[in-house]
Amino acid sequence: MKVNDPIIKIKNLKTFLGSSWIHKGLNLTINRGEVLGIVGGSGSGKTTLLREILNLTRPTSGSITLFGHELLTASSQALLEIQQRWGVLFQSNALFSSLTLLENVMFPLKEHTSLDPVSMKDLALLKIRMAGLSMDSALKYPAELSGGMQKRAGLARAIVLDPELIFLDEPTAGLDPNTAAGLDELILNLQSTMGLTIVMITHDLDSLWRVTDRVAFLGEGVVLCVDDMSVLVKNPNPLIQDFFGGPRGRAAQESYQHEK
């Protein structure tokens, strides 16, 4: 596939949860090799959309095509093969508290490969280094790691199977600005060196400016706009203006322009 070929196609997605429609005909195309941010106000359906792409929540109707396969009608075997081609960093990191960092990163290798233990350990240590963590940290448990180190540990596990695609759910949430900036830099480095496609849900306006190629803004049950940040922030839609037009939004834009 070419670099800009679609890797995910979402068409006319409708989702009814509880007593209301979350998605009302949502359309979105994500291209291979890009970093796409997904944003929107509270209740706009960002997390629901991610769960639907990950096959954790089933939409009411519509189509989600991933790697050319329709997820909603795919067999269990096809879904398993698709899932082995992506990695996920959950907002909570989802690290196993009873396993060391090394054991956490090795876990997908044990589940999905037939590598020998030495090869699994070597590969996991390589990904830990790629995530910017020291070898000393490999033998520590999640509770012994800082918030930023836990995020990096989660990223190491997300890339251990050499995926084509990774999903990041609020990757910088709870991190101080310096640690968040370091994680942004890591995400860009991994995207460049591994040729990843990255889908990122975030409220971090600095990350949106620094990391993304395009940003999809969700509101009123649909994608209101998808474009690069410099165009998106000028969109006259009131929801978009309310989201980006405040002091934090202006500060993030000014900081990015100053860095440039």
CA 11, CA 8: separation in Å to the nearest integer?
A: 10
Token pair, residue 87, equals 């990695």
pLDDT of residue 40 exceeding 60, the answer is yes
Under DSSP, is residue 1 helix (H, G, I), strand (E, B) or coil? coil
DSSP letters for 183-249: HHHHHHHHHHHHT-EEEEE---HHHHHHH-SEEEEEETTEEEEEE-HHHHTT---HHHHHHHSSHHH
Q: Give percent above pLDDT 90 in the chain.
A: 80
Assess contact for 218 and 50: CB atoms under 8 A.
no
Band of residue 18 on the pLDDT scale cut at 50, 70, 90: confident
Average pLDDT over the chain, rounded to whole? 91
How crowded is residue 175: how many other Cβ atoms within 10 Å of its Cβ?
Answer: 19
204-239 per-position pLDDT tens digit = 999 999 999 999 999 999 999 999 999 999 999 999
| Partner residues linked to 219 by β-bridges | 222
pLDDT at residue 4, rounded to an integer: 59
pTM: predicted TM-score of the whole model, two decimal places: 0.91
Q: Give percent above pLDDT 70 in the chain.
A: 96
What are the DSSP E strand ranges found in the chain?
6-17, 20-31, 35-40, 61-66, 69-70, 86-89, 165-169, 197-201, 214-219, 222-227
